[in-house]
Structure 1
Amino acid sequence: MSKREADEVTGVETTGHEWDGIKELDNPLPRWWLYVFWASIIVAIVYWVLLPAWPGINGYTKGVMGQSDRANVAQELQALRDLRGEGAARLTNATLEEIESDPALQEYAMAVGQSVFGDNCATCHGAGGGGAKGYPNLVDDIWLWGGGLADIHHTLQVGVRSGAEGARFSQMPAFGRDQMLTGPQVNDLTELVVSLSGREADKAAVARAAPIYAAQCVSCHGATGTGDQAQGAPNLTDGEWLYGPSREEIRTQIWSGRNGVMPSWAGRFDDETLKALAVYVHANAGGQ
């Protein structure tokens, strides 16, 4: 047998492998690595004996401990179903006011409502309910259809312009797009709306728009612009704007009549879940 080549610098024999003039040294593995390697083998053997390990044709080796994650998960799920079943039964038989007056039941409803809100509502309204452009802010006291507990519950049930039976419905006309008003008239009306919110506006434009507002807008927004929750008509005198307070956004709303949609959740959630969600929104997100 021929003797293997030794490295001139270290004196260590090479493996005979060479890449681009670089030769691999035949160094022994570090002792700590060998210890870990053999310890891993020992642990694996112990695992095979104690816990489920080897699959077979008709099942698998159970191990002397009889451990089963599947059985543990099944037990935990059943316990959770039992707990939720008890809470759901109490929610079913309680009124919304009784839920909020019972600390234990309210705590349960809040936990369920928070989970449902995060999975279904946060996409539009934000994780904290702060809303976004075109999506209402739920943490303030501005509510188009009322922020009482019963109001919120009803809105969740039927939605807004959702197509469901009894849905909340309001219609902002597209005054410019549908040629109900001319461009200059829309500009004047924009100035009037700006003035209603207490900001500086073109007085001549406001005067020209006054009869237009009386003819087209008063029936929903009121003579002073304070709106009407019964119709879902927004208050034009506060500082809250669904699409933004700039003149450009206000003009676009008057011109195009943007009307958002909120789905009806009655067909997706049972009554207990709807109650829990209403309680969560009302208690945690700025209910009136």
Structure 2
Amino acid sequence: MALGERDPVTGYLTTGHEWNGIKELNSPVPRIVYVFLILTTAFSLIYCLLMPALPLGTTYTKGLLGYDERQVVERELARAATVKAPWHELLDRQDFVALAADEAVMREIREAGRLLFGQNCAACHGTNAMGNAGFPNLATGTLNWGDSPEVMQETIRIGVNSAHPETRTAQMPAFGKDGILSRREVDAVIAYVHDLGRDGIAAANLAHSDGAEIFSAQCSACHGEDARGNAELGAPNLTDSNWLYGGDLQTIFETVWYGRQGQMPGWEARLGARNVKLLAAYISDLRTQRP
């Protein structure tokens, strides 16, 4: 095909390329493309002139408008702090009873607490605070260390088996793995514990006398003779239907045989005293809203 041949239909010259009888036209670039290129280039130049844009080693061009995103954020934070100051002051000063009685403050606590909980606690306890295996149900479940707002505030502050110097500590021995109990004794005590919550302590004592005896000798120091737990030690109540790891025989066996050592970080350094108290008030409110 000769270079410079003109297409009879469109009037455009061809490029000299042909594929399967199809000739390539040397059609001009649409003018709209040039318009967009000119506009975007002009916009870029104007933006670089007016706004912070070009890096210059350890600094950057400031722009004629002097716009600074950091200053904008700082102003927004200062404005938000001013808006929140009245209820923050009440949160800092009032006890949990007074806070719960102030519906206006509780609305703020519910909104802020929901966000704070979602960002820091939901990964373990779930977005609805109903817990996961190995992580307690904060909304309705029994809490090992107690469920008063003051106790929850302290638990959040210092954590459990955490790096905080005042941390709560909790350790259940590995009765089977460490040879404290034989396999027969472990089987006896897990059968007893399994039936405590289902049938009650009297029926469990009658049905599993060997397990009851082993429990009294090995477990009652932490869980109590009545198996109702000890909040001072963080030992759970074994007579109800709330199980941290699971209440089936296999899971109870794993707990008794291998032991348990839950862990929760202390949030004081990361969140600060105000947010720790905010979370305690939020969780306490959740517990009052659900049966």
Percent identity, aligned pairs only? 34
After superposition, the Cα gap between the structure-2 partners of 1:20 and 1:196, relative to the gap in structure 1 and judged at 3 Å, is farther
Number of corresponding residues: 281
Trace 1:52-67 onto structure 2 (pairs within 5 A).
52=50, 59=61, 61-62=63-64, 66=65
Where structure 2 has 5 or more consecutive residues not aligned to the other structure, the ranges are: none
Q: Which residue of 1 aligns with 2:141?
A: 141
Partners of 1:163 and 1:72 in 2: CA distance = 37
Partners of 1:287 and 1:162 in 2: CA distance = 30
Indicate the SS of the match to 2:24.
strand
Per-residue displacement from partner, 1:89-139 (whole Å, max 9, x unpaired)? Answer: 433222232222222333333333333222221221122212211111112
Q: Does 1:78 align with 2:82?
A: no
Q: Which residue of 1 aligns with 2:279?
A: 277
Partners of 1:86 and 1:203 in 2: CA distance = 56
CA contact (8 A) 1:96 1:149 kept: yes
Per-residue displacement from partner, 1:219-274 (whole Å, max 9, x unpaired)? Answer: 33233432233332212222221111221110010111111011222233322111
Q: Which residue of 2 aligns with 1:4?
A: 4
Q: 225-234 or 41-50, which moves further after superposition?
A: 41-50
CA contact (8 A) 1:47 1:53 kept: no
Superposed CA RMSD in Å reads: 3.8
Partners of 1:249 and 1:54 in 2: CA distance = 60
Trace 1:195-206 onto structure 2 (pairs within 5 A).
195-198=195-198, 206=208
Q: Does 1:38 align with 2:35?
A: yes
After superposition, the Cα gap between the structure-2 partners of 1:278 and 1:53, relative to the gap in structure 1 and judged at 3 Å, is closer
TM score, norm. by length of structure 1: 0.79
Q: Which residue of 1 aligns with 2:151?
A: 151
After superposition, the Cα gap between the structure-2 partners of 1:163 and 1:43, relative to the gap in structure 1 and judged at 3 Å, is closer
Trace 1:83-232 onto structure 2 (pairs within 5 A).
83-198=83-198, 206-232=208-234
Code of the aligned partner of 2:100: E
Code of the aligned partner of 1:99: L
Code of the aligned partner of 1:144: N
Partners of 2:7 and 2:21 in 1: CA distance = 12
Partners of 1:104 and 1:179 in 2: CA distance = 57
Where structure 1 has 5 or more consecutive residues not aligned to the other structure, the ranges are: none
Q: Does 1:265 align with 2:267?
A: yes
TM score, norm. by length of structure 2: 0.78
* TM-fit CA distance, 1:174: 1.4
CA contact (8 A) 1:138 1:286 kept: no
